Structure 1
Amino acid sequence: MFRLTNKLAVSNLIKNRKLYYPFALAVLLAVTVTYLFYSLTFNPKIAEIRGGTTIQATLGFGMFVVTLASAIIVLYANSFVMKNRSKELGIYGMLGLEKRHLISMTFKELVVFGILTVGAGIGIGALFDKLIFAFLLKLMKLKVELVATFQMNVVIAVLVVFGLIFLGLMFLNALRIARMNALQLSREKASGEKKRSLPSSSNYSWFD
C-alpha cells in the first residue's frame, strides 16, 4: 500500500494539474515576495546607508505582514483544491482505501508539490534579488550598484517558514479526511466545483 500511495500521489498531481495551477501560482508568488522582503530586511548593506536602521525596521514590519498574508493565501488555495477533490477522495474511499491511506497520499502530494513550488519561488526571488535592491537604492536617490545580495540565511528562513505552512496544510487535510466518510466526501464536491476558480472568502468555510 505504501508503494501504491506513492504512485497515486504523483499521478494525482499530473491528472489534476489544471486544478493545481492556481495553487502553484499562489505559492510561487507568496514564496517570491517573502524571499525578497526577507532578503532586503537582512541585507547588511542597508544598515550602512543613512537611515538604514529605520528602513530595516520598516522592512521588518513588512516582512511580518507578508509572511502572514502568504500563509493565508496558501492555506486558502489548498482548501480550494481539497474541496474540488472531494469526489475523487470519496471514490478512493469507496474503492477500499482507508482514511490513513488517503491521508498518506495527500501528505505525499503536498511534499512533492511543496518541494517543486517553494524551490522555484526561491529561485525566482534570488534571480530578482539584485534588481529589487537596486530599485530600493534608486528610490532613496543613492548610487545604484548591482552587488551580490544572495544570503543563505534568507533561504533557510524561507524554507522554515513555508515548511511550517505546509505542515499546517498537511494537518488540515488530514483533519478534513478524518472527519468525513466516503459519501460525505463525494457529496462535498457539489459545493466545491461551481467554478474552477478561487471562491470569495465571504462564501468560504474551512469545513462543511
Structure 2
Amino acid sequence: MQKDTGKPFRSRLLIVVFALLLLLPGQAFADTDAEILECTDYIRQKARQRLAKYNVSRKVRVKRTHRKRRTLKGKRNPADRYHAIIMEASRKYKIHPDFIRAVIMVESSFNPRAKSKYAVGLMQLTKATAEDMGVKDRFNPRQSVLGGTKYLRALLLEFKDTTLALKGYNAGPQHIRNGRTDFKPETIEYPGKVFREFRRFQQLSRKGK
C-alpha cells in the first residue's frame, strides 16, 4: 500500500515557513502573499476532507447557505466591516482571511459584543487566552481579531492538524494535549461548521461579493 506523505510534507513545510518568519522577518514580509497562498491550499484541502468525513449532504449545505444569504439581502455583509482588521491579522500571522472570517462567523456572527459563559468578543476569547495573546480589551474588534488569529496560528503549529487546532480553539488545547476524545457535541461539530463557512466565504470572494 502506498503511503500518503502529503500531510507530513505540508506539516514540515509550515514549520519551516514559520521558523523563517522568526529568523528572517524582512524576507518573510516580502513573501507574505506566497505564505498566505500556501496556508489557503492547506486549509482548502482539509476542508474538503473534513466535509466528506462529516457527511453533510449537499441539500443541507445549500439550505443553510441560502438562509444566511437571505439575512444579508439588502444589507452590508457584516464581514466587510472588519475587512481591514482581518487582512492585517492575515498578513501578520499568515492565516488565510477567509479562514479568519469563518471562525468569527461561527464564534460570534460578527457581533463584537457577543458573550458566552466564559468568552466574549468577535473571536470569543477567554480571560486567560486574552492575557496569553496580549489582548487587553476583549471587546475591541482589532484586539480580538489579532489575538484570536495569533491563537489559531499557535494551535495550528502545535497540533499540525486543522481539525485538532479548531477543537482546541473551541474546547481548550489542554484537552487535545491530554488525548481526550469524549468531546461535547459542540466541539465535535465545530470544525465542520468552520470549514463550511470557509468554503462559503471562498465562494463569495470568487463571485466578488
Structure number with the bigger relative contact order (C-alpha 8 A, sep ≥ 6) is 1
Higher helix share: 1
TM-score interval, normalised by the smaller of the two chains: under 0.3
TM-score, normalised to structure 1, is 0.27
Q: How high is the TM-score relative to the length of structure 2?
A: 0.27
